[in-house]
């Protein structure tokens, strides 16, 4: 078991359109840190990471003793397809990722899957490899958050991705429990942070000047977030992160983030309907008024990306116009739009199944870009059409130009150009009939 291949599969749409994708996609894609962390934990073994988004994969000829595949729910059909090819060649296959954590029984129903890991895999990875070498692997391994929280950073082997950007993960999990979200299940409803000194030292040692924190909620522990930002002042880094809306409630925290180099924050707005916030346990969004919160972040030179989800039970056909009006009025810089997706394994999925509202068991459609359930106040076709219209209008050339002028005023020309480029990529993909996420 000396040769290990770790695979990040692509969607079938991504594979079908690979040759049509723009040549600059390596500047847009980010490596997934999970496989890099496993590679680092694979003591004294020959490890290769293969990302199907960027490079072709020939499972019929791949030289490996063990293949590990990270599987998100929408990628399960492709992952099983790969596993069956490897199985026919006598290669052991290990599944991990959200799909296994939520539905291990589906993963292990395939005889081609030797074993699977539910939850974070790094802490038990070497034990799993040792068991494989001794010919006595368990069927299902229970992963766990790191006992000693590691600060993970992308390494030099990922230079085919954004050459000037390093990905960093400091915290694990999220301290909120939104009903539709998979993060609490992935991290056993825990939120953990490392020693702040360790985090600051690791970040300062990164050669890249631009960092993208992939933590699900960097400010989940406000005391830690303040200490982290204080430690990053003067480090010469620019960075973006994900955070909850309550970040804007505290001007002193925003000022500290800006001083530490924060130039962008992704906020999970999800919906403008406060009833939905309450029903979905999105309590953090009650912390401050949305337009004021976005304006406050802009005043500190921080670009704002808003996450939006369409299809909640309170959403009617007018939700799309309301969202577009808010996006224009608030001056939000990016809109990450998704369709509500009841992932198998979540109580939310069980509820909709009992109500007879699940439309398909085709996991490849559980991408957050397709409708897989029957909404309560509109038809599935209306939800899909409305979602598509919001994305097309927000990322129209007119919309991109309007946001560029506004962003240049309050964020500066360089940040506005980055924002405009990101918007144009989405616009270009849509015009060529490619998936949004290609």
- Kindly state the average pLDDT of the residues 153-174: 70
| Cβ 392 vs Cβ 324: under 8 Å | no
Instruction: Categorise residue 27: left if φ over 0, alpha if ψ from -120 to 50, beta otherwise.
Output: alpha
Tell me the C-alpha distance between 434 and 438, whole Å: 7
**DSSP H or E segment with residue 388:** helix 380-394
| Cβ 34 vs Cβ 70: under 8 Å | yes
pLDDT tens track for 243-277: 988 888 888 999 999 999 999 999 999 999 888 88
pLDDT at 278: 87
Superfamily of domain 152-431: tm_1862 like domain (3.80.30.20)
Residue range(s) occupied by CATH 3.40.50.280 in the chain: 3-142
Between vectors from CA 389 to CA 388 and to CA 392, what angle results, nearest 5°?
A: 85
Residue that wins the pLDDT comparison between 226 and 13: 226
Tell me the C-alpha distance between 66 and 131, whole Å: 12
What the block records as the tokens of 66 is 């063990």
Find which of 3-7, 35-39, 195-199, 417-421 is predicted with most confidence, using mean pLDDT.
3-7
What the block records as the tokens of 183 is 């993060």
Q: Find residue 305's DSSP bridge partners.
A: 266, 334
Tell me the C-alpha distance between 393 and 397, whole Å: 9
- Kindly state the average pLDDT of the residues 409-417: 80
- Strands annotated E in 160-225: 165-169, 172-173, 191-192, 210-213
pLDDT beyond 90 at 56: no
User: Model's pTM, two decimal places?
Assistant: 0.90
Of 17-31, 120-134, 287-301, 332-346, least confident by mean pLDDT is: 17-31
pLDDT at 73: 95
Confidence of residue 425 (pLDDT cuts 50, 70, 90): confident
| CATH code of the domain made up of 3-142 | 3.40.50.280
Confidence of residue 152 (pLDDT cuts 50, 70, 90): confident
Query: Hey, is 19 helix, strand or coil?
Result: helix
Tell me the C-alpha distance between 42 and 39, whole Å: 5
Handedness of CA 205, 209, 215, 219 (dihedral sign): positive
Residue range(s) occupied by CATH 3.80.30.20 in the chain: 152-431
Query: Hey, is 141 helix, strand or coil?
Result: strand
Tell me the C-alpha distance between 388 and 337, whole Å: 9
Tell me the C-alpha distance between 115 and 261, whole Å: 43
pLDDT at 155: 59
Nearest to 33 by CA among 176, 154, 187: 154
Query: Hey, is 127 helix, strand or coil?
Result: helix
Confidence of residue 145 (pLDDT cuts 50, 70, 90): low
Tell me the C-alpha distance between 296 and 343, whole Å: 34
**DSSP H or E segment with residue 94:** strand 92-96
């Amino acid at each position: 078991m000396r040769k290990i291949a770790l695979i990040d599969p692509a969607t079938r749409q991504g594979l079908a359109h690979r040759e049509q994708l723009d040549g600059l996609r390596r500047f847009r894609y980010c490596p997934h840190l999970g496989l890099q962390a496993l590679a680092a934990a694979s003591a004294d073994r020959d490890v290769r990471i293969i990302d199907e988004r960027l490079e072709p994969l020939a499972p019929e000829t791949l030289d490996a003793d063990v293949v590990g595949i990270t599987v998100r729910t929408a990628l399960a059909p492709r992952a099983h397809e790969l596993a069956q090819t490897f199985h026919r060649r006598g290669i052991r296959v290990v599944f991990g990722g959200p799909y296994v954590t939520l539905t291990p029984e589906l993963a292990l129903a395939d005889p081609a899957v030797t074993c699977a890991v539910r939850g974070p895999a790094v802490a038990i990875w070497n034990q799993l490899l040792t068991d494989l070498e001794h010919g006595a692997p368990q069927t299902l391994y229970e992963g766990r958050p790191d006992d000693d929280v590691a600060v993970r950073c992308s390494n030099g082997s990922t230079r085919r991705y954004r050459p000037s950007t390093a990905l960093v993960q400091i915290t694990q999990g999220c301290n909120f429990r939104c009903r539709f979200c998979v993060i609490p299940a992935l991290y056993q409803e825990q939120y953990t942070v490392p020693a702040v000194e360790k985090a600051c030292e690791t970040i300062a040692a990164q050669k890249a000047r631009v960092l993208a924190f992939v933590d699900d909620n960097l400010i989940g522990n406000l005391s830690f977030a303040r200490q982290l930002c204080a430690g990053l002042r003067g480090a010469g880094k620019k960075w973006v992160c994900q955070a909850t809306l309550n970040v804007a409630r505290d001007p002193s925290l925003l000022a500290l983030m800006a001083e530490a180099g924060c130039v962008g924050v992704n906020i999970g707005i999800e919906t403008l309907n406060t009833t939905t916030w309450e029903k979905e346990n999105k309590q953090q969004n009650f912390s401050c008024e949305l337009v004021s919160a976005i304006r406050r972040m802009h005043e500190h030179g921080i670009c704002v990306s808003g996450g939006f989800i369409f299809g909640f039970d309170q959403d009617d056909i007018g939700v799309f116009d309301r969202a577009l009006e808010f996006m224009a009025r608030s001056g939000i810089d990016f809109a990450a739009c998704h369709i509500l997706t009841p992932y198998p394994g979540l109580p939310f999925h069980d509820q909709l199944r009992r109500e007879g509202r699940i439309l398909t068991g085709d996991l490849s459609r559980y991408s957050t870009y397709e409708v897989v359930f029957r909404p309560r106040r509109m038809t599935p076709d209306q939800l899909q059409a409305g979602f598509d219209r919001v994305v097309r209008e927000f990322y129209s050339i007119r919309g991109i130009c309007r946001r560029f002028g506004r962003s240049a005023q309050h964020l500066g020309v360089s940040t506005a150009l980055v924002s405009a480029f990101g918007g144009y990529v989405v616009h270009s993909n849509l015009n060529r009939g490619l998936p949004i996420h290609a």
